[in-house]
Structure 1
Amino acid sequence: MMTGGGRDGRIGLEICVDSVAGARAAIAGGADRIELCAALALGGLTPSQGLVAAVLAIAGPARIPVHAMVRPRPGDFAYDADMLALASAEAAALRKQGVEGLVFGAARDGMLDVAALRAWVDGLARPEAPPALTLHRVVDLLDDPAAAVEPAIAMGFSRILTSGGAPSAPAGAATIARMVARADGRCSIMAGAGVQADNVAALIAATGIREVHGSASGAGRPEDEASSKLGFGPNPRLTDINAVARLRHVIDEITNIGQM
């Protein structure tokens, strides 16, 4: 049986958000799961405890799982001992708060940092059911993203988020298809980056994926003069409920056709 997917056997839709408003829009638009981060404009960082609590408070009643990013700093994914210890502490705190899954990755010199990943996963050992684990787009920095499939499965990751090593998932569709074939149902290959309502059907047909990931976001408020003056970086983007709903509609049409 293929792993992954959404409720009722449909193709799953995960929306990444970095605010309570984004979580509300994702849920209202029809997301199956939320990936919760801070600072999506920086690629996503570990969310604060307050943000996690606020999002869980609205996602729980809606029965929408929340998976949280564990990324202790922006930049690359080559973590030293201090950063790895921090990532482990963040993971433990997130689990204690009640998130259902964790998203993490580590790599060096074009290859997965298997030692760091194993140490991080081993640090999650608990008597209760383990969290769902996603290996994030660090795989798209590898010389061969498909080579990440076997070690990810061996370490206990239940899904891999990838654009197939390309700037967008549609551009990396051939590699994503190879990853799906290599996984052979043992973990879910989830396509993300540049996934929109107007390309998701072709992406699903070309790859055989059962889960898609996107931000479904648009430009936020106009340029913030204070942030610009202080050099705080790009303004946040805002999750667009209509973009989420359009993705949901196209995905459900594909599911319905497949069930006919």
Structure 2
Amino acid sequence: MMTSANAVAKRVLLEICVESPAGAVAAIAGGCDRIELCSALALGGLTPSAGLVEAVLAVARPAGVPVHAMVRPRPGGFDYDADDLAVARAEALALVAAGVQGLVFGATDRGGLAVAAMREWIAALGPARPMLTLHRAIDVVDDPVAAVEDAAALGFDIVLTSGGAPDAVAGAATIARMVAHARGRCTIMAGAGVTPSNAAALLAATGAHALHGSASVAAAPGGPDRLGFGPSPRRTDPISVKGLRQVIDDKSNLRQV
């Protein structure tokens, strides 16, 4: 048997992305290790408002669950101009001041990561910066595996990726290569389309030590969207979170044998 210290080191972490206080409550009830907080998940996640951050921290802090907040100043791609980056810096500083434990960010440039822009963004946080996740901007670069090198050199603690594919199952082989390339310098977290039914196979195929998902279901139908402002938000499902938690714990126990 492995020692208890090694068992802790091998435990797979579960992050659930939410966009509401109710989502945070459901994620915590289901057994998540960490919350990624966004607004507008239907658009891939944007920077959450100050009020949303305050409300979710009020739920997560008593439960001891860290909150990592998205920094994404606008929908669309990740090739940001100077104005976008200035907003992203201001948002990051405000989120840190509000008390989040981590930030989620990414920027691209001509098929690669925008290394210089991200270095300046990180530097603006100062020496007491929180944990940093490079989000799925890495999935739109020409070579996600090589981009892990830039992520590690910049100081990102976590890289969220689907392996450059529409979902993590389709990108599993690339995710495995990213895990190998990281060599423990940052955590490669598999995300996109992760469900209780595919999580075990995904962990086996990739060797990832973290999974990310929304664990969401369609919300109850609301009123008609007469102004064309988009669909109603989905609802975080604690049963789906529990299913992921069970798969992860079963897989972690096997790794400890």
1:67 aligns with 2:64: no
2:30 match: 29
Per the TM alignment, residue 9 of structure 1 is displaced from its structure 2 partner at its CA by 4.7
CA distance in 2: counterparts of 1:241 and 1:92, whole angstroms: 31
8 A Cα contact 2:200 2:248, kept in partner: yes
1:244 match: 241
8 A Cα contact 1:7 1:32, kept in partner: no
**Inter-CA distance 7–42: structure 2 relative to 1 (3 Å threshold):** farther
1:150 match: 149
8 A Cα contact 2:10 2:256, kept in partner: no
Letter in 1 for 2:52: L
Per the TM alignment, residue 8 of structure 1 is displaced from its structure 2 partner at its CA by 7.4
Q: Percent identity?
A: 65
Per the TM alignment, residue 223 of structure 1 is displaced from its structure 2 partner at its CA by 5.2
CA distance in 1: counterparts of 2:37 and 2:109, whole angstroms: 25
1:253 aligns with 2:250: yes
Per the TM alignment, residue 240 of structure 1 is displaced from its structure 2 partner at its CA by 0.5
Per the TM alignment, residue 144 of structure 1 is displaced from its structure 2 partner at its CA by 1.1
CA distance in 2: counterparts of 1:195 and 1:69, whole angstroms: 19
1:78 match: 79
1:115 aligns with 2:124: no
2:216 match: 217
CA distance in 2: counterparts of 1:223 and 1:165, whole angstroms: 34
Per the TM alignment, residue 116 of structure 1 is displaced from its structure 2 partner at its CA by 1.3
Letter in 2 for 1:220: A
8 A Cα contact 2:18 2:236, kept in partner: yes
8 A Cα contact 1:146 1:182, kept in partner: yes
8 A Cα contact 2:78 2:137, kept in partner: yes
8 A Cα contact 1:13 1:248, kept in partner: yes
CA distance in 2: counterparts of 1:117 and 1:237, whole angstroms: 31
Alignment of 1:94-113 (within 5 A): 94-113=95-114
1:202 match: 201
CA distance in 2: counterparts of 1:231 and 1:19, whole angstroms: 21
Aligned length: 251
2:19 match: 18
CA distance in 2: counterparts of 1:258 and 1:146, whole angstroms: 25
CA displacement 1:134-154 (0-9 Å, x = unmatched)? 000011111111121111111
8 A Cα contact 1:140 1:165, kept in partner: yes
1:56 match: 57
Per the TM alignment, residue 28 of structure 1 is displaced from its structure 2 partner at its CA by 0.3
CA distance in 2: counterparts of 1:137 and 1:224, whole angstroms: 32
CA RMSD across the alignment: 1.3
CA distance in 2: counterparts of 1:186 and 1:7, whole angstroms: 17
Of residues 244-253 and 215-224 in structure 1, the stretch that sits farther from structure 2 once superposed is: 215-224
1:132 match: 131
Letter in 1 for 2:164: G
Letter in 1 for 2:234: R
CA distance in 2: counterparts of 1:69 and 1:199, whole angstroms: 25
**Inter-CA distance 7–235: structure 2 relative to 1 (3 Å threshold):** farther
CA distance in 1: counterparts of 2:223 and 2:167, whole angstroms: 28
8 A Cα contact 2:10 2:209, kept in partner: no
Runs of 4 or more, structure 1, over 6 Å off, are none
2:4 match: none
CA distance in 2: counterparts of 1:8 and 1:22, whole angstroms: 28
8 A Cα contact 1:17 1:239, kept in partner: yes
Per the TM alignment, residue 108 of structure 1 is displaced from its structure 2 partner at its CA by 2.4
CA distance in 1: counterparts of 2:48 and 2:82, whole angstroms: 21
TM-score in terms of structure 1 length: 0.94
CA displacement 1:147-181 (0-9 Å, x = unmatched)? 21111111110010000001110110000000000
Gaps of 5+ in 2: 1-6
8 A Cα contact 1:224 1:235, kept in partner: no
TM-score in terms of structure 2 length: 0.95
